[in-house]
Every structure is written in structure tokens, then in C-alpha cells.
Structure 1
Amino acid sequence: MKEKEEARKSDLLNLVKPRTETPRRHQLSVYDNCLPCVTCNFQQGLLSRRQLDHTIHKIRLKNLNTTPQTRIQIYSDIRRDWLERLENATQLEMIDNKHIIGLFSLKDSMIQRILWLKLSDKPSSNQKDRLSLSIDPFPSCRYYQSAVKISSMSLIDKDSVLYTGMVYTGTPESLVFIKGFGEGSSRYEVYSLGQKATWTCAWNKHANQFSVGSEKCGLLLDVQTRRLWEINTHNSDVLCQVFSKQNGNCLYSGTRNSQIFTHDLRSISTYAVNQLTQSSSVCGLQLLQNDVHLLASDVKGQVNLWDLRTRKVVTEYLGMKNEYLRIPIHVDQSEEIVYGVDQEGYTRLWCLQTGELLKNFPPPMATSYDFFPSVLYSKTWNDRQGNTGLLMGLGDKVYVYSDYTDMAIHDC
């Protein structure tokens, strides 16, 4: 532990370089990191507009500082802050480029809070700082205090959230909640799952239904009829789930026995129609908008991009260190960057197409199993092109990482 802490402090002082070698066929030309050369190639017709935007995006990402430029402390409530202090941000989800939702735990308490955080433009105080972003540390009335231990959270829309939890006292019972946060919204629904542990939940935006990853099986619930179906996963716990993006007819479930099951919700049968195999327990799933490529990560640190048509891995993302943690994997909104946090608290970002490791961030403070960062990345914060940055929730603070204005200009 001392060696890891010394390495983390050293990485904070020095530029962290990718520690994994990129295959020869994935290596970029030296001209791809030179902005004048890229612009010249575009003017000569050697690059398309999409290739130009993608290359500039990667240059900005490589120029992100490895130390945060802004540190914003989040408060649970203005009136109760002297009684309650947030302990750690266990999950961050992006509502849009101007709002995020966070799940925070409270110090010396089993109570958790779901907070809506608003992003706004703020002029940079540093001339070299490109990112224009500020976070309101006081969510005001847009928060919710949970009386259960929340195990997973999934966004329904801009004004409501789905989450699962376990009751603290009395009979141990798993519950599913749908809570509305919009102004004047009184939506509040509770569903009981009995004495079953819950690991994850996912909302189907194309149908009024949601799924819950439970022990030994998956569960599918209809909101209007409250009808419940058990989905067969070969008697294995479901650790992550995602619905198909275009029509919501397929449900992908990552299980503890290293399998990724595909269930067709139009079929009467509850057995899987397709099956993929990872190296260990699947802890993260992300489906791209084309419904063809599925990104999967497991507890051994293996991150793969699957082609669902051929059932083969098309890209591997190397460098993730994990042995036992259930860590999610993310894809940015433009579907160009894959990013995630490993068990040592380091944030890694890869190119989705080539698998090249572009950036490696050390945590700003020491981490542990219960004190772990959550990250969000976007190149268009506040709906502004080029407003590239990384948000990291760690403890009761949100750290903001931005890039420099002096983009890569090499002699060539």
C-alpha cells in the first residue's frame, strides 16, 4: 500500500504516460499529434471533416491535465449541512450536458442522498485553462433522501430516476423505487421483490418497463400491470444490464459466471437467444447506438468491444487493472472515447475505434474499496463545442480536469 501511494504521488507530479503498448496496426502517425499538419492535410483533401473533428478531439484529450484545475465541494442541503456531511460519490450519471445526477453516502449514517447537480458556464481564471464549467454545490430542493441502502441507480428521463435498495431493519426485503424530481412532480412508486439481493437495474425507454439484476436470475417488471417475469441466466447472478437502443426489444445481461446473455423480450421463452463469454464475471455493459457493438468489462480488467453479428471481439482495450471490484465502463456521447476507473483509482481513456490508450489520470487522493472515484467525460459540456473536460466525484467533492489552450504543435 505504501508503494502504491508513493507511485500515485509521483504520478501527480509527473505526466502519466500510458503503461501499455499499442499494437503496430493501432499506432497513430506522428502527424496526427501535430495540429498544423492535421489542418494542412484537411485543406489538401487527405482528411474528411469527420476525421478532422475526431483527430482534434483526441489532441484535446491528450492535453488534459493530470491534476484537477477546479475542486468543488458538494453540500447535501443548506439547512442541514451542519448536521449532515456527504461522505463519497458512489455513482454519477449524466442527464444531459448541463445536468448530472449523483448518488452520495452520508458520514456516520446508512442514509444516502440522490442529488441533481446543475452545470453552468464560468469564465476561466487561468489563461491556459480552456474549460468553461461550474457546478452548483447546493442542489437546493432537488434532492432525495433514501431510507434504504441503494444498490443501483438508473436514469429514466430528465425528471425521474429508478433505483433499487435493501431495507435496513426488520425483514430484509428488496425494493425498487421510481422517484420524480421535476417541479411539481409527485411521482413515487414502490415495487417489492421479496428477499432477493439486487445488483443492478435498467430502464427500457421504448416500453413502460424496467429490469432488475437479481441473484440467480434477472427480473423484468411492467410498470402499469406490475407483472413480473423471471429471466433465465443459468442460475447465475446478474451484475449489469442494458436494453437495445433502437427498439428496446432485446435485453443484454452480464452475469457472475462470465456470460453475456441476450434475451428477446418479444419471445414467450425466458431463455437466452445468444451468449457471449468473457474471461471472468461481467461487471459493466454499454451498447452503442447502432445496436451492433457491445462494450463489456469484467472483474479481471478485460475490456472488449463485441460485434453482436459475428459474436467476436473486434477491439480490446488494454491497461485496466482489476481483480475483484464491480466497476462500470463508460462511452462518451459522441461514441469516440471509452473510459473507466480501475481498482487503484486510476482513470483511463481509450480511442473507441483503435483501442489506443490516450490518457491516464491518477486519483487526487488515496482511494480504497469504500472510497472510490466516479467519472464522467464529455467534449461538449454545457452544449459548447470544444468544451472538453473530465468530472471526477471523489468524497464530497467534484474534481474538474480541463485541457490547455496551447494544443500540440510539434516540429515536423
Structure 2
Amino acid sequence: NNTHLPGFYYDPEKKKYFRLLSGNNNYNPLTKDGLQLKAAEETRVKMIQGKEPTPPKPAAQTAANSRTMMLLQRNREQGQLTYQQFARFAHEHCVTMLPMQPTHELTPFPDTYFNGEAGSIQFLKVDQHQDRVLMVIHDSFLSRIWQGSVNRDDNNNDAVAIDNWGTVNVLGTRSNKITNVEWATSDRDDGLQVLYTVSGGQTSSAQLFKIYRDSSGRWKKEFVFSTESMEKMCWTCAWNHNPLMQPQISIGSSRCAVIFDIATANRKELYSGHSDVLAQVYSRHRPILFNGTRRGEILGCDLRVDLREPQLYREGKTVACKLKHRVCVCSLKLLKDENYILASDISGKIRLWDMRMGRHIYSYQGLANKHSQLTVSVDSSETLVYGAGIDKCTKFWSLQDGRLLHTVPSPLPMSTDGLPVPAYSRQWHGGATPGLILGMERQLFWYSLAL
């Protein structure tokens, strides 16, 4: 038994104690951070090799999968499961078998700036039809947005292919950084629109572009709307998909949310409890904008209230509902049944809220986070919740009961900069196999769900 000594580290291989220092130096390279990184890399390798936890042998694993699917099918035939329940349980079971290593790498990677040596992927956003993807790459010199088309890979039936890449915008600055990007619309008649926010430096801004193909088939972009501020930061943005309301965007800003009418450029502020707005989502069927604040509140703001009355704004009369996290809310997702909203905060807590009762009904445990503004997503079938933490592991939970279904380790060593950015679907465009696209550093990896 080795006694723990404060300030010292026991090496089980050398069977000696070593003094820990706050930083690296030439005399003693052992530090707490370095040891944690080494332990995390050992855990990652064990997970990829299947040694942690120990999985069954391939033959036994295949037999177990067959038995599970046969049991589900029998319960369905006996009327013990509805079709929706059967589809949900089968999908959750298949996700537990997602491979630990990428099936292959998606190529070619479009970004050629700096000879492909700089930058890392910050965002991957898929549109509602699962056939377009937005990718943001950022480094100390440039921030750029790429969009591509999702199709089935003709050379590999178990994979997707992303092609027809084109740049939406490139920002050549050291200080400004793209803080969020969203598909503003997926109406093919009007063309695709991309909304994004930029912060840092002397000004912050939000811009809206329309993307379309010209007669020669090349991607073109058309400027639609832009706004700048020298006083406030732009943390996030949202597009109003409600067909009964005028086209408008919202910007999560310093101490308030700001709404712009695209047609008239009219501007109005929404009450946020005098706290920064870090996450936003519009209701599709009601005139409500949900704001997640740095104070830890989720505020549902009624857009019908006349904000020209200062007394209403000061008293927060625009707030139709209020939910409370303990720390900064950094991600919001509204389900198809808009009585439910999924929220995550910077402590790693993920909760599904029932707004009718004003309390959370499920919690999703295991997302590693301490200070980062991480995004948590729901798949298009609303079966799964998934997200990547600062431990560089991508986790999947059951939306319906909060169970942790699967953990996918980082495809790259733990010493690599940047975090994984996941995009999962079982309904990719073109009939591609369900699976996970994982962006990390300057690479896109594919994990096939095919068994």
C-alpha cells in the first residue's frame, strides 16, 4: 500500500515517489497536468483496443445482438411494444454498437489555407433535411465557414460523402472569432441562408448570406443583412422559423438579446435579467424566443409584448416562463413537442425540462465540462442526445429515460489540440447508412452504424 503524499507522485513502474511542480522545467518534467494527460491517453487507447471495459468476443457479441433484436421483434409481434417503441429500442441498441474507431476518414478535406497545417474545426451544423453541412474552422489568423453537400459514398455503401464544398465567408483577422453559425432557412425555393455571429476585436457583428447555384452550377453567395456593434459582444444567434411571423434574427448579446426584422431592419431588445445571452432558440409555432443566460436562467420571452414601454422592459414583463440552472446555460434545443426543451450548462449538466410543470424530468450524466461553451444535440428522430466533452469523448444518451448508451473515445491522441465536434443522423441524404461524422483538428472521421 502506497501512502499518498501531498505534492508527490508515486510511479508504480519505477516504484518511486517524484515531486510534482506547478509547471514543466528541464530538471523535473513531471507535473499534475502532464500525468493527467498521460492517464487520459492510456484510457483512450484501452477503449479503442476494447480493453476498458472488456467486451465479449466477436462471435458472442454478434449472438447477443441477434438475441436482443429477436426479443424486440417478438415483443412487437405479441403487442407488447408499439411500432414507435420498437423503433426507439432498436435504434438505441444499434447505437451501443457504434465502433470505437473511425470506419474511415472523409476526404478530400476542403480547407487549403496555410497548406492544411493550421486551424481546427469549431462547428458542424447539419440542416433539417440532412443534406447540407456547415463547417467552421478557426485559427489565430483566419476564421472561415465552409458548406458542403451530404451524399452516399458510391465507393463505400456504409459511408457518407461530403462534396461540393464552397466557402461562405473568410475573416482575415487575429482578434475576431466566429462564435456561432446556423442554417437560417432550408426552403429550397428561396435558397439556403447562413447566419453567423463574430466577436472580439473592436467590433462584433452578425451577418446573413443567401447561398445558391448559378447557371453553371457553381455556388454563389448574396449578402442579405448585416449589423455591427462596438459596445456589445455577439455570443450566439438564432433564426425565426415561425412561418406566421416576419423573417427575423436574434443575437445573444451582452446583458440582453437583440432582435432584428430583416425586411425593415427594426431593432429591439429583450429582457435577460441584465445577463449575457449565450444560447438561443425560437419556437416554431409560438411567438416565443428562449434565451439561456450567463446567470443560469432560461427565459422564454413573448415577442408580442410592445417593448416601446420602458416599464414593461425594466420589470421583465416580456418573460413568459423562467427555468433555472445553477451556472451559465450554453446550449438550448427545443423538441418537436415544444413543451420540452433540452438545456446544458458549463458544469456539464444536461437536463430535459417540461415547461408546463416548470421542472426538469430527466438528467443526462457524464458530459465532462468545467468552463467551455459546449453544444449538446438531439438527433432528427429525437431518440438520442449526444455531445462531446472536454475529455474528448463523444457520449450518447437515451432521450426518453436519460440512460448513457455509448461513449466514443477521441480518434486522435489526447495531446492534440481542439475538441471533437459530432454530427449524428440515421437519415442522411441519399440513402447513406446511419452514422456519426466527427470533426477534430482538420480531419473529418466517419463512424458507420452498419452492423
Partner of 2:99: 65
Is 2:170 the counterpart of 1:145?
yes
Partner of 2:447: 401
Partner of 1:290: 337
Partner SS, residue 273 of structure 2: coil
2:268 to 197, 222, 229: 229
Is 2:284 the counterpart of 1:253?
no
Amino acid at match of 2:332: L
Amino acid at match of 1:280: V
1:331 to 362, 378, 385: 378
The structural deviation recorded for 1:369 is 9.9
Relative distance call for 1:32 and 1:357 in structure 2 (3 A) is farther
Measured in 2, the distance between the counterparts of 1:237 and 1:300 equals 17
**Residues 144 and 167 of structure 2 are in contact (CA less than 8 Å); yes or no, is this contact kept in structure 1?**
no
Partner of 1:41: 75
Measured in 2, the distance between the counterparts of 1:368 and 1:232 equals 42
Is 2:209 the counterpart of 1:163?
no
Range with bigger deviation, 349-358 or 114-123? 114-123
The structural deviation recorded for 1:43 is 1.8
Relative distance call for 1:366 and 1:310 in structure 2 (3 A) is same
Relative distance call for 1:118 and 1:231 in structure 2 (3 A) is same
- Gapped regions of structure 1 (runs ≥ 5): 19-29, 406-412
**Residues 206 and 234 of structure 2 are in contact (CA less than 8 Å); yes or no, is this contact kept in structure 1?**
no
Relative distance call for 1:312 and 1:81 in structure 2 (3 A) is closer
Query: 1:288-327 counterparts in 2 under 5 A?
Result: 288-327=335-374
Partner of 1:134: 161
Amino acid at match of 2:69: L
Measured in 2, the distance between the counterparts of 1:263 and 1:152 equals 21
**Residues 203 and 243 of structure 1 are in contact (CA less than 8 Å); yes or no, is this contact kept in structure 2?**
yes
The structural deviation recorded for 1:383 is 5.1
Relative distance call for 1:45 and 1:181 in structure 2 (3 A) is same
- Gapped regions of structure 2 (runs ≥ 5): 1-36, 55-63, 187-191, 215-220, 307-311
Partner SS, residue 196 of structure 1: coil
The structural deviation recorded for 1:199 is 0.8
1:371 to 418, 424, 427: 418
Amino acid at match of 1:61: V
1:2 to 30, 35, 38: 38
Amino acid at match of 1:266: R
Partner SS, residue 12 of structure 1: helix
The structural deviation recorded for 1:33 is 6.8
Measured in 2, the distance between the counterparts of 1:181 and 1:194 equals 28
**Residues 152 and 431 of structure 2 are in contact (CA less than 8 Å); yes or no, is this contact kept in structure 1?**
no
Measured in 2, the distance between the counterparts of 1:165 and 1:285 equals 19
**Residues 246 and 290 of structure 1 are in contact (CA less than 8 Å); yes or no, is this contact kept in structure 2?**
no
Measured in 1, the distance between the counterparts of 2:260 and 2:91 equals 40
Question: CA RMSD for the aligned pairs?
Answer: 2.5
Greater Rg over alpha carbons, structure: 2
Measured in 2, the distance between the counterparts of 1:333 and 1:378 equals 7
Amino acid at match of 1:149: K
**Residues 333 and 343 of structure 2 are in contact (CA less than 8 Å); yes or no, is this contact kept in structure 1?**
yes
Partner of 1:87: 119
Amino acid at match of 2:199: M
Measured in 1, the distance between the counterparts of 2:320 and 2:348 equals 27
Query: Deviations for 1:23-80, whole angstroms, at most 9, x for unmatched residues?
Result: xxxxxxx999711111122222222221221122112111110111011245445xx5
Measured in 2, the distance between the counterparts of 1:368 and 1:196 equals 35
Relative distance call for 1:16 and 1:325 in structure 2 (3 A) is farther
1:180 to 210, 231, 236: 210
TM-score, with structure 2 as normaliser: 0.78
Relative distance call for 1:67 and 1:112 in structure 2 (3 A) is same
Relative distance call for 1:93 and 1:70 in structure 2 (3 A) is same
Relative distance call for 1:81 and 1:150 in structure 2 (3 A) is closer
Query: Deviations for 1:285-308, whole angstroms, at most 9, x for unmatched residues?
Result: 101111100101111111110000
Is 2:324 the counterpart of 1:277?
yes
Measured in 1, the distance between the counterparts of 2:118 and 2:347 equals 31
Partner of 2:137: 104
Amino acid at match of 2:233: A
Partner SS, residue 195 of structure 2: strand
Partner SS, residue 35 of structure 1: helix
Relative distance call for 1:225 and 1:368 in structure 2 (3 A) is farther
Query: 1:203-222 counterparts in 2 under 5 A?
Result: 203-206=239-242, 207-222=246-261
Measured in 2, the distance between the counterparts of 1:369 and 1:218 equals 35
Measured in 1, the distance between the counterparts of 2:150 and 2:65 equals 35
Partner SS, residue 181 of structure 1: strand
